[in-house]
Structures are given as C-alpha cells and as structure tokens.
Amino acid sequence: MKHVNVALFVVHIGCPHRCSFCDQRSITRVAHKVTPEDVHSAVETALASLDGETASEGEIAFFGGSFTMIDREYMMSLLDAAYSYVKNGVFRGIRISTRPDGITEEICEILKSRGVTSVELGAQSLDDRVLKLNERGHTAKQVEDACRMLESHGFETGLQMMTGLYGSSDEDSIETARKIIALSPATVRIYPTVVIEGTKLYELMRSGEFVPKGIEETVDLCAKLIPMFENAGIKVIRVGLHSDGDTSKFAAGAFHPALRELCEGRIYRDAALRELNNMTPGKYILSVGPGQRSKMTGQKKANLSFLRDRGYDCEVAQEEGLTKYEIKVRKKDAS
Ligand code: SF4
C-alpha cells in the first residue's frame, strides 16, 4: 500500500485578519480560488500515480487561510468533494488548518461529520503581547480553548508556532513551546519568521523598528525547541517556511531550504561538544545512529570544523543501535 497525501491551498479566503508577517500569495503563488473540481482533479492525479495501489493511509489536506472561517457553503463544497474519497475508504481522512478563533462546537460537529481527522491551528505564539503586536486577532486563551474543544471531539491536533516575531525574544518562544507541550498536541510545526515584501513586518523592518533574526540565531533557538517537543512525545513535522521555489519576495529573516537539517546538525554539534568538553583535546571518533552521519558532520563539514577549532579532531562513524541524537565518543587511537 502506498502512502499518498493530497494538499490544496485555500489562500487568504476567510481570514478576518492580515497578520503582520503573512502574504500567503507570495508563499504559495496561488491566486486561484480552489474549487471542488480542483479537489477531484488533485485527488485523481494522485491516485493515477499509484498504479492501482490503494491510498487509504493518506490524507487530503486543506492548508492556508482560515479554512473554517471561509464562506460556509464554499467550505462545505470543498469538504464534500474530499469526503467522497474518505467515505469510500480511498483516503484515511481530511486535514485542515485554521485559526484558533475559527474553532467552535458547531464547527467541530461539521468537521467530524465530513471525515476531518486532523486539525492544525496557527497558534504562532502563546504570549498575548506578541499576538497583539503581530495583529493575530486572537488570544493565547483562545488557542487553549480551541485545543481542548478539538481534543474532546477526538481530532488529532497540530499546533503551528513561529519564532522571531516582532516583539518576541527567544525566551518568549521557549515559553510558548512549554505552553504548547502542556496542551499535548500530536504534532507541531515551527515557522521561524521570514520577512515578506508587502507585509507589515516588512514596513517595520524598513523603518528600523523590527530587526529580523538571521539563520544562525534561529538555528540555535530551534535546536533547543525541537528536542523539547520530541522529548515530550510531540512530532515536529516541519521546521521552516515552505516555498515553491520563488523566494523573490523574501526580504529577510530565517529562510533556508534545509533549515531543519541545519537545526538537527546543531543539536548533534552541541551534544558532541558537551561530551568532548569532559575530555582532553585530541583525535576522536563520534559514532551516531544509522542515517545521522551527515547531521553530525554538518553542512560543508561545519560541525567538524567547529569541534576542530576547539581542539577536537573528529571523524564520524555510524553504529547500529544508537538512537536519534545519541553520540558515542571514543578516542581515535584507543582500541
Ligand atoms: S490568519 Fe493565517 S492566513 Fe490569515 S493572515 Fe494570518 S497567518 Fe495569514
């Protein structure tokens, strides 16, 4: 059985706000209003790629915008189109993303009746001051209430958080992560702020009021956030803004096509340094689990250079049985 997901972007429609950082058209380059026909055609295209295998582990996802706040008739038409593939068992369920204030008891009932299984909420921050500064138009309490409502209706819940927002410090982001963990969602997406032309953040940056965080400091922060979530059993399903390749409107901030890899490399680097700090400078072998070698080495061997500058000349080896982020350190000339 092949695993296939279908994603459709419902851009901006339904958003009662224009958040300080958001210009979804730049991100997705979709100006077109998704129709039920688009749903059918995207699903049929995905199914055609399966060569007759079933897709029943997959989901049909409506991302972007504020799905539950769009015109009700339009929302139902999209859900009905997707639900026809869930009803007959071709797909496992439907995933939507929306704003926390777009969740009510009535909406939960509707989503449930139409085969929605997962709901992602754009929380972005759980600090009311940061939410207000970035014109989110909802409070932290609304995020918490929405999570509880979704949980009581049996949805798998995902939360999206941002780092580096206007008026937000690393400590604020860590505190938001702690509050998210307390809500125990199944998944989290971490979106470090990218300044997009035409947004309020762009204007604030130009006036000097907002200084966006760069890649280095973002990687440092996310290397703390990812283990916080993973250690709490929350799956981090994305780190960094997704782009279809056109980044011409990305004016500043933490955009990197392999941001997650950089963050995971930083986790390995810091863990290795912690181990090596107890040892005398010299040559060492750092063993990591299967598939983790490039993360320990770092992009362009940056982690090895970093350790070498501190007196530790390291080689990386792979060893079965080691878990993610686990490192076994041994002196090179030791047997
Ligand atoms: S609610 Fe979401 S889609 Fe709407 S403006 Fe804010 S970030 Fe963008």
Distance from the CA of 24 to the center of ligand 1, in angstroms? 8
* pLDDT value of position 56: 66
Give whole-number Cα distances, 20 to 10, 39, 167, in Å.
Answer: 19, 30, 11
CA distances from 82 to 1, 72, 91, 213 (A): 20, 15, 9, 39
Instruction: Give the residue among 297, 217, 214 at the shortest CA–CA distance from 261.
Output: 297
Nearest ligand 1 atom to alpha carbon 12: 3
The CB of 66 under 6 Å from ligand 1? The reply is: yes
Pairing relationship of beta strands 116-124 and 156-163 according to DSSP bridges: parallel
Q: Structure pTM?
A: 0.93
Question: What pLDDT does residue 32 have?
Answer: 77
Query: Given the CA of residue 14, which atom of ligand 1 is nearest to it?
Result: 4
Nearest CA to ligand 1 atom 2: 65
Distance (Å, whole) CA 114 – CA 318: 47
Q: Is 16 in the pocket of ligand 1 (CB under 6 A)?
A: no
Tokens representing 268?
Answer: 């390995």
Ligand 1 center to residue 204 CA distance, Å? 18
Query: Is there an atom of ligand 1 within 6 Å of 17 CB?
Result: yes
Phi-psi region of 64 (alpha: psi -120 to 50; beta: other; left: phi over 0): left
pLDDT tens, residue by residue, 216-262? 999 999 999 999 999 999 999 999 998 877 888 999 999 999 999 99
Does the pLDDT value for residue 266 go beyond 90? yes
Per residue in 279-314, pLDDT (tens digit) is 999 999 999 999 999 999 999 999 999 999 999 999
Digit-coded pLDDT (tens) for 89-140:
999 999 999 999 999 999 999 999 999 999 999 999 999 999 999 999 999 9
1: pLDDT strictly greater than 90 = no
Ligand 1 center–CA 194 separation, angstroms: 14
Check residue 2 and give its pLDDT: 66
> Residue 159's pLDDT is what?
98
Average pLDDT value for residue range 202-209: 98
- Looking up tokens 């080896």 gives 317
Q: What is the pLDDT averaged over residues 203-226?
A: 98
Task: Kindly tell me if the per-residue pLDDT of 11 is higher than 80.
Answer: no
Report the distance separating Cα 242 and Cα 245, nearest Å.
9
Q: Compute, in angstroms, the gap from residue 77 CA to the centroid of ligand 1.
A: 22
Q: What is the pLDDT of residue 75?
A: 95
Q: For the domain covering 6-257, report its CATH number.
A: 3.20.20.70
> Tens digit of pLDDT for each residue in 15-71?
777 899 988 655 455 567 899 999 999 999 998 887 766 666 799 999 876 899 999
Q: Please tell me which residue, 182 or 71, carries the higher pLDDT value.
A: 182
Dump strand ranges (E) for 39-164. Answer: 59-63, 93-98, 116-124, 156-163
